[in-house]
A = this chain, B = another copy of it.
């Protein structure tokens, strides 16, 4: 099945919990409770999200995490990229030269365009929308990507 990893899924849940807490600091422990996940797992995710600049951490007693910017400014694409790395449906659409079939592969260029469409779909949904279960907004994306 074409899907994101479980960790990416968890990351969106954790980020939604953080969004719900506004600018208050939340410890990994508290977030694990909210998200009903294991502490080590949440901790690992938060570290990756911090490195990606999506959350900021405060160390020491009464430390914790908070969002680096408003939920409206964080997209699902940001979270997916933070956990999984760059979005690319095929290997050759991210790294050239690893396939060996490229010179005579007629489908490569088209995959790149599909990649952009999917990245656009993920980038069009913000964390703020994700946190609202009953969001009425339909998913419409700026999918008019440049050819080739």
Q: Give the interface of A toward B (CB within 8 A).
A: 1-4, 6, 9, 12-13, 16, 35-36, 76, 80, 84-91, 94, 100-101, 104-111, 113-114, 116-118, 121-122, 124-125, 129-141, 143-148
Contacts and interface: CB of A to CB of B under 8 A. Distances in A.
B148 A139 contact: no
Q: From DSSP, what is the main secondary structure of chain A's interface residues?
A: loop
A16 B118 contact: no
A4 B76 CA distance: 19
B133 A110 contact: yes
A6 to B, nearest CB: 7
A83 to B, nearest CB: 10
B139 A141 contact: no
